[in-house]
Structure formats: structure tokens, C-alpha cells
Amino acid sequence: MLPLIPTDTELGLIRLGALQKGATGIVHDIQAGRGLVSRLSVLGFTPEARVTMVQNFGHGPVIVSIRDTRIALGRGEAAKVRIRRLNGQR
């Protein structure tokens, strides 16, 4: 029998696009191809980087603050970034 792989929820992870406005999280990883991983890494999305949601209307791009810079990401890009919410945040 194969060992069960824990889900994002079990690990306490959410996708960046699910973060509410004003909430802060820590980048866990990026689940994408080399090109997008490289691009996002250059923009500051590296493991353990603190990210704060500036704008998230639930559709269209999201705007986040990371490493003292505001960055707009498309929904598809934001869906590939897994983050860990800081304690006490929903």
C-alpha cells in the first residue's frame, strides 16, 4: 500500500489567490514549470518570503506586497503559489 500524500489543507497551505485583502502569509513553494518559477523567484517569491494581499476582488488580477514591492499577478499565476497563513489569520 502506498503512503498517503498530505493535502494542502492538512499541511495548512492555501493558494495565494485565496488570501483575503490585508492578510499575510509565508511563501511555501511554487507549483509550476521552470519558466514561471524562475520569473516569480526573480520578483521575490522565494520560500519563507512574507506576502501581504493588497487587492483581491475574487476575479481578475491580484495585487500583493512582497519584499517592499507591489506586484500584480494573474489568477493563474497566483493559483500556483502555495502559502502558509500566519497564525490566527483566516
All domains of the chain, ordered by start, with CATH?
11-85 (2.30.30.90)
- Asked if the model's pLDDT at residue 7 lies above 90, the reply is no
Instruction: Dig out the grid coordinates for 11 from the structure.
Output: 499541511
Average pLDDT value for residue range 37-63: 96
Q: How confident is the model at residue 50 (pLDDT cuts 50, 70, 90)?
A: very high
pTM summary value:
0.87
Q: Which set of grid coordinates corresponds to residue 90?
A: 483566516
Dmax (CA) for the chain in angstroms is 47
Q: Are 89 and 23 in contact (CB under 8 A)?
A: yes
The set of cell numbers assigned to 72 is 500584480
C-alpha cell at 47: 520560500
Q: What local confidence, expressed as pLDDT, does residue 90 receive?
A: 56
- Is residue 23 very low, low, confident or very high in pLDDT (cuts 50, 70, 90)? very high
Average pLDDT for residues 39-46, to the nearest whole number?
A: 97
Q: Is the separation of the CB atoms in 40 and 46 below 8 Å?
A: no
